[in-house]
A and B are shown apart, each in its own frame.
Chain A
Amino acid sequence: MSAPTTTNDGLDDFLSSAKNHGIPDESIVMLLRQNGWPERRISRAFSAYYASVLGVPLPIRTGRSEHARDAFYYLLNFIMLGFWTIALGQLFYVLIDRWLPDPVTHLYQSSRSLMDEIAWQIATLIVTFPAFLFVHRLIGEQLRSRPDLYESGVRKWLTYIALVIAALVVLCDGIWLLQTFLRGEITALFILHSLLLFIIGGGVFSYYLVTINPPRSDR
């Protein structure tokens, strides 16, 4: 493992000289900041200085690649989640429409379009649901082996975004239901559609709300 590289801009010499004169780190950092030195360059100079004094290079944390990996897993997970939940919702929506046909719109539906719609949703479910389960399982295994990943910023951000979307679905469903009720247009078909949206949105919301924090036994 190599020590942090030094640049010939005088900062490293200045830092060594300042430290040899007993100037505390805070004062040096403040002075350098005021003179326009970027944080990264100051950190690198300190890393090089302490590596030479201690004789041990600063351990390199693999944080960045972890963030990228987390982003990959979680983005894939949530994209798959979006695909299969929408496909499942659409599939049940069409099936409910078939069993309780709306007399107004039913006349315009052909059996061909119904079949196309169902086939599309089934295909989406068959491809994305196993993919989702696989990625979800990988994430679960990682979290079990390394509980510190529960605190990953990428994980929290993406999970909270998914929570917001799921909450919006449930809230809009509630508004839709209430508005239809107030207009006196509520039907069994409408209640079933609304219930379907509530079950899927509510299920996703409650699942991610419960699992965003580590289980109590792991804390």
Chain B
Amino acid sequence: MRFERVISIAACVFVVLGLGLGFYVIGTPRHQY
């Protein structure tokens, strides 16, 4: 597999992971300070 393809797939995984975690965090109630 070409190097640039590996980076593209890694970028997509990174974005999906970031979005997933971000949605998880804003969807989870958190205690107030």
Q: Which residues of A contact B (CB under 8 A)?
A: 84, 88, 91-92, 95, 98, 107, 109-111, 114-115, 118-119, 121-122, 125-126, 129, 199, 203, 206-207, 210-211, 215
The 10 closest A-B pairs by CB, nearest first: A207-B7, A111-B30, A122-B22, A91-B18, A118-B22, A210-B4, A118-B26, A115-B26, A211-B4, A88-B18
B19 touches A206 (CB 8 A): no
> Within the complex, what minimum Cβ distance (angstroms) separates B21 from chain A?
5
Determine the residue in chain B with the shortest Cβ distance to A89.
B18
User: Known: A95-B25, A111-B31, A203-B11. Is A125-B4 also a contact (CB below 8 A)?
Assistant: no
B7 touches A119 (CB 8 A): no
Q: Which residues of B contact A (CB under 8 A)?
A: 2-4, 7-8, 10-11, 14-15, 18-19, 21-23, 25-26, 30-33
Give the tally of cross-chain contacts (CB within 8 A). 54
Determine the residue in chain B with the shortest Cβ distance to A115.
B26
> Within the complex, what minimum Cβ distance (angstroms) separates A20 from chain B?
58
- Beyond the given A111-B33, A206-B7, could you list 4 further A-B residue pairs with CB under 8 A, ordered by the A residue number? A95-B25, A110-B32, A111-B30, A114-B25
B26 touches A119 (CB 8 A): yes
User: Known: A98-B25, A119-B26. Is A125-B19 also a contact (CB below 8 A)?
Assistant: yes
Residues of A within 8 A of B8 (CB): 207
A203 to B6 alpha-carbon distance, docked (Å) = 10
A126 to B33 alpha-carbon distance, docked (Å) = 30
Residues of B within 8 A of A88 (CB): 14-15, 18
> Within the complex, what minimum Cβ distance (angstroms) separates B26 from chain A?
5
A122 touches B19 (CB 8 A): yes
